[in-house]
Amino acid sequence: MTDQLQHECGIALIRLLKPLEYYHFKYGSCLYGLQRLHLMMEKQRNRGQDGTGVACVKIGMSPGKKFFSCERSLKPSSIDHVFKDIYAEINKTGKRNPDLLNDAVWLKQEMPFAGEIYLGHLRYGTTGNKLPESVHPVIRLNNWKTRNLILAGNFTLTNVETWLDITSDLNVNGGITMTVGAADYRRYINHTSGTVDVNGAFNVGASGNLGYLLTGPGAVLNVADNYTFTLAGRSTTLEVADGARMEAYDFTQANSTAGGAGGVLVHDGGSVLVRRNTIIGNSNAGSTFVITNGSFTANGYLLMNIGVDARIEDGAQVNVLGALQIGQYSNSNGDFKQTGGSVEANTLAISGISNGTAEGTAQNNVYTLSGGTLTVNSTAAHAQSYGTPSALIGQFGHAIFQQSGGSADFKGDVTVRSSTAPASMLALVSQIIFDEGAEAILRGTLRLGYQDVVDKSNGAGELRVVGNAAQNGRLSFNNVYFGMLGIYAPVITQNGFTPIHVGNQLRVFDGFVVRPELDGAVPLGDYTILTWNALNTTTPEQLEAWVKLAEDVDRSHWKIIVDTEGKKATLRYFATGSLLLVR
C-alpha cells in the first residue's frame, strides 16, 4: 500500500486456512483468529472514532445452522464495547464449562464468532450521519449461502436499492431488523418474487425511511405466530400489489417522528392477512391506510390510531373479525372515507375528540360512507351498565358517522353519544348523518345520548336526516331510544322533513329536540318528521312534554305537534304573526 493514510476508515481481514483445532494445538486457543482481529483493530484505534463493527463467517456449516455473526457499536470507545459483547457469551460458557472452550468442534457449531473468516471495520465518519445502520459491516441477506453479502469499506452506501431486492426464497430463523439512514429521501426493500418466512420479530425502518414493496404474483411474506411485523421508521410504507401476499401474526405501522408520511397501501390484487391484531399510526400523525382492488383481513381488531387518513375504494375488501376502531381515546383526528368496495366488521367504534365540532371538521374522528357497502355484524345487546353496543359513535369525546351513498347494514345496536357534556346544544355533539342517497338498515336499536343511570356525564347524540334519505324504505330503524339522563337532550335535525319511521319501539327518557334546517322559502303547512308503531314505557303525556324545538329555532315560524293517537310528530310552518291561528 503506497498511499498515505488520511481521513480513511480502518479495515482488518483475517482468513484462517486451517481448522480451529490446529490453532488450539499451536497457540493454545480455538479463538486465535478472533484474538488476532482484536489486536489488529486496536492498532487502528484512532481510525474508529465514529463506530466499530465486526463480522465472522463459518465455513462448511450444516444446513439450518447459523454461519455468520455481526456486532456493531456507536458508543464511545466502540472497540471496547464490541469485543466486550462478543466475549460476554464466551466467558459465560467458560465459567459454566471450561472444557467447552477447548472443544473446537463444539465452538464452531454453537458459539458465535468462532469461525474462519473475520472482518473488522473502524468507522471514520465524514457524512455527519451517526446512526447504527451507518456502521459497517453491512449485510444483505439471502436464503442461498452464496448470495449473502457482508460488506465493509471506506465509503458510504448510496445505491442500497440495488442490494435490497428480494427475488428468491428466504427463510430467517430468528428476528430481523432492516434499516437505513434517516435521509430525506425514501428507500425500499423490493420483494418481487419468492417466499420470505421470518420466524421471529420482523422490524423494518427503525429511524430511517425504509419501506417494504411486496409486488408480483409470486411474492409472499410470512411472519410466524407470536411475532410482530413492525414498520416503524420516519416514513415507512408497506405496499402490497400485483397479486402479492403478506401474512403476519400482529402488524403495526407507526411513524417514528412527527411529520412522517408512511402507511399501508394494498392495490391491484394484493392481499394482507393479519392473524391477530393490527395497529395503524401512533402519536406522530400522518399515517395512511389505502385499499383499492385488494383485500385486508384482520382476525383480531383493526385500530386506526391518531391522525390516520384511511380510504377504502372500488374493489376493496376489508374484513375485521374483531373491532374496527377509528381513533383511540380523545384528540385522534381520524378520517375514514369509504367510496367503494366492502367493509365488514364485528363491531365499529368511532372515538371522539374532546375539542371537536359538530360539523365534521378535521378535528373530529369521522367515518364517511359515500359508496360501497358497510356491514356491522355483532348483534350483542347494549348492556344497561357501561356495556358496548355493536356500533359506538363517540366512544371518547365527539365523533361522526356520515352516509351520502352506498349501503349500510347495522345488525346490532348503534349508540351515538358524547362522552362529555357539550358547551351548547349546537357544538360538540356526536352525530349519525344520513344524506340524500343513503341506504341504511338499523336492525337493532339506535340510541341517541342514551346511557344508564350510573353515568350521567354523557352529552347528547344527534340524528340528522337530509333530503329524502328516509323515503322509499331506504332508511329503516327498528328501535330508537332517546335520552341521556342529563341536561342536554338528543337532537333530530331535519332538512327536507322526510319522516323517520321507527318500526318497533320508540322510547323517550329525557326528551329530544328537533331542529329544522332549510335553505330558502318553505311552503306553509305540516311536515311529518317522526312516526312510530309503539311507545313502550313512554306515556303520551311524557312524549308531548319531551318532544321540543331546539332553543335556536325561530318560534314565530315553527311549531311542533305530537299526535300520540296517530303515533306521529309533525312540524308546522306558518308565516310571521300567525301564531294565534295555530292550536
pLDDT per position as a tens digit, 16-57: 999 999 999 999 999 999 999 999 999 888 776 778 899 999
Same domain, 331 and 438: yes
359 pLDDT higher than 50: no
Give the model's confidence band at 269: pLDDT under 50 very low, under 70 low, under 90 confident, else very high. very high
pLDDT at 424: 38
Give the model's confidence band at 347: pLDDT under 50 very low, under 70 low, under 90 confident, else very high. confident
50 domain-assigned: yes
Same domain, 308 and 264: no
Same domain, 176 and 75: no
Name the strand (E) or helix (H) holding 37: helix 32-42
495 domain-assigned: yes
Alpha-carbon distance values, 323 to 300, 308, 340, 378, 433 (Å): 7, 16, 20, 10, 21
Between 316-330, 363-377, 451-465, 517-531, the lowest mean confidence (pLDDT) is in: 451-465
* pLDDT tens per residue, range 196-246: 888 888 888 765 667 788 888 888 999 989 888 988 776 788 999 999 999
445, HSE (Cβ side, Cα atoms, 13 Å) = 18
261 versus 45: the higher-pLDDT residue is 45
444 domain-assigned: yes
Same domain, 394 and 493: yes
Average per-residue pLDDT in the chain? Answer: 77
pLDDT at 532: 83
pLDDT at 427: 43
Same domain, 366 and 511: yes
Same domain, 257 and 315: no
- Phi/psi at 84 (nearest 5 deg)? -65, -45
- Phi/psi at 337 (nearest 5 deg)? -115, 125
R_g (Cα) of the chain, nearest Å? 33
Q: How far apart are CA 257 and CA 12, in angstroms?
A: 37
Name the strand (E) or helix (H) holding 525: strand 525-532
- Residue that finishes a domain, picked among 122, 150, 168: 122
> Structurally, how many domains does the chain consist of?
3
Which candidate, 84, 152, 149, places its Cα nearest to that of 124? 152
Which candidate, 343, 289, 339, places its Cα nearest to that of 314? 339
Q: How far apart are CA 553 and CA 571, in angstroms?
A: 12
Check if the beta carbon of residue 306 is closer than 8 Å to that of residue 328: yes
Same domain, 330 and 462: yes
Same domain, 372 and 447: yes
Same domain, 341 and 249: no
pLDDT at 517: 72
CB atoms within 10 A of CB 483: 21
Residue with cell 497457540: 27
pLDDT at 361: 41
Domain interval for residue 61: 10-122
pLDDT at 555: 81
Same domain, 266 and 319: no
Same domain, 336 and 437: yes
Residue 253 bridge partners (DSSP): 231, 280
Between 118-127, 180-189, 398-407, 451-460, the lowest mean confidence (pLDDT) is in: 451-460
Check if the beta carbon of residue 191 is closer than 8 Å to that of residue 168: no
Check if the beta carbon of residue 384 is closer than 8 Å to that of residue 413: no
575 domain-assigned: no
467 domain-assigned: yes
Same domain, 414 and 542: yes
561 domain-assigned: no
- Residue that finishes a domain, picked among 250, 270, 290: 270
CATH number for the domain harbouring residue 28: 3.30.1490
CA–CA–CA angle 235, 333, 342 (5° rounding) = 80
Q: HEC states along 438-481?
A: CEEEEEEEEEECCCCCCCCCCECEEEEEECCCCHHHCEEEEEEE
Q: HEC states along 529-543?
A: EEEECCCCCCCHHHH
284 domain-assigned: no
pLDDT at 390: 65
Give the model's confidence band at 491: pLDDT under 50 very low, under 70 low, under 90 confident, else very high. confident
Give the model's confidence band at 130: pLDDT under 50 very low, under 70 low, under 90 confident, else very high. low
Check if the beta carbon of residue 353 is closer than 8 Å to that of residue 399: yes
